[in-house]
Amino acid sequence: MNILLIMTGGTIGSSFDSGSIHVRADGKSAVVDRYLSEHSEITFDTVHPLNILSESITCDDCNTLAKALLDIDVAAYDGVIVTAGSDSLAYLASFVGLLLGDCPIPVMIVAANKILTASDSNGYVNFSCAVDLIGQRICGVSVPYRNTDGVLYVHAATDLRQADYCDDFDSFHGAYGIFENGVLHEKRPYLAQRIPQLFDRSRLPQLRDNVLMLTPYPMQDYARIGTDGVKAVLHTLYHSATLDSDSFVPWMKAHPGLPTFLAPLHSGRKRYQTTVDAINAGAIPLYDISPECAYIKLLLACAQEKMSIQAFMQ
């Protein structure tokens, strides 16, 4: 079995010395060396488009990664593994998932909660699961990740949520499967977001820092928020899909022509009046999509000119 390994750095490619954790200068990961020492029947073709800690990722980094992703020769491989950092894993997973949503071979995104030499690191388990899923031809773009409960969950890449202040990951709709004893037990159908097929190796996306992402918090002062260079706005919502519309709606009306989107919203649920007020004032609801995926999708919408941003998003 031949697997394309796209390495980007992150904790899974890091070591600890001189008092801090940082990516290895050679871009390599101990997880690969360990796996190859135990499985001689697997071959990896390795590329290193990035070698960064994921909290430092930029639009230029995404553009570099997009070239590596859209240049994959799917006929030459049984699957693809992208190693990534865990801090921005949900965003990078959505980026890979959106660009490779129609890839005919399995694509796995692998991260680690701790460096590989830590006894409680999940990096090797996550990586091994990714190889097993490729061997079983589990297609789609997925993220296998063992949480602190010891369960190895498999997430649809475009559904993954940020771990924030803990080591555990979940999905917007819940993990679609659990991997146990070499078998994927599906909990629900595989769900993934899609984008219009406007990008390929000859038409690479050129992301720019032109999307303003707002997160609600009490006493938020929207008057302090500028929009220089902004092409679109994503306003995330509280867990009840709400926001302070009394403050936000006047700010939005003060910026006419700037498309503004709301996420996450679940279809079929009753809305609070504050959300209704924002939508009636012109905010565009995005249903059944995580805010992380909505943000990445909006960056891609702003990186093309074939469609309006609104049409691309909806």
Q: Judge whether residue 27 has pLDDT over 80.
A: no
Residue at which a domain ends, from 170, 186, 202 = 186
Q: What is the CATH number of the domain that holds 232?
A: 3.40.50.40
Q: Which residues contact 52 (CB under 8 A, 6 or more apart)?
A: 8, 9, 10, 23, 61, 85
Mean pLDDT of the chain: 95
Is residue 153 situated within a structural domain? yes
Whole-angstrom distance, CA of residue 145 vs CA of residue 159 = 13
259 and 223 belong to one structural domain = yes
Is residue 94 situated within a structural domain? yes
252 and 176 belong to one structural domain = no
Give the other-Cβ count within 10 Å of 141's Cβ: 26
Is residue 266 situated within a structural domain? yes
Q: State the burial class of residue 152 (Cβ atoms within 10 Å of its Cβ: 0-12, 13-18, 19+).
A: buried
pLDDT of residue 258: 97
Q: How many residues does the chain have?
A: 314
Confidence category of residue 15, pLDDT binned at 50, 70, 90: confident
Whole-angstrom distance, CA of residue 220 vs CA of residue 248 = 9
Is residue 10 situated within a structural domain? yes
Whole-angstrom distance, CA of residue 63 vs CA of residue 197 = 17
Number of domains in the chain: 2
- pLDDT over 90 percentage in the chain: 89
Read off the tokens for 78: 């049984």
Whole domain around residue 230: which residue ranges?
211-313
In tens, the pLDDT along 93-137 reads: 999 999 999 999 999 999 999 998 899 999 999 999 999 999 999
Helix (H) / strand (E) element for 217: namely none
> In the Cβ-directed half-sphere of 200, how many Cα atoms lie within 13 Å?
6
Is residue 44 situated within a structural domain? yes
Q: What is the CATH number of the domain that holds 16?
A: 3.40.50.1170
In tens, the pLDDT along 262-304 reads: 999 999 999 999 999 999 999 999 999 999 999 999 999 999 9
DSSP string, 180-206: ETTEEEESS--------S--BTTB---
Whole-angstrom distance, CA of residue 87 vs CA of residue 90 = 8
Rounded to two decimals, the pTM is 0.96
140 and 280 belong to one structural domain = no
In tens, the pLDDT along 153-196 reads: 999 999 999 988 888 999 999 999 999 999 999 999 998 999 99
pLDDT of residue 223: 93
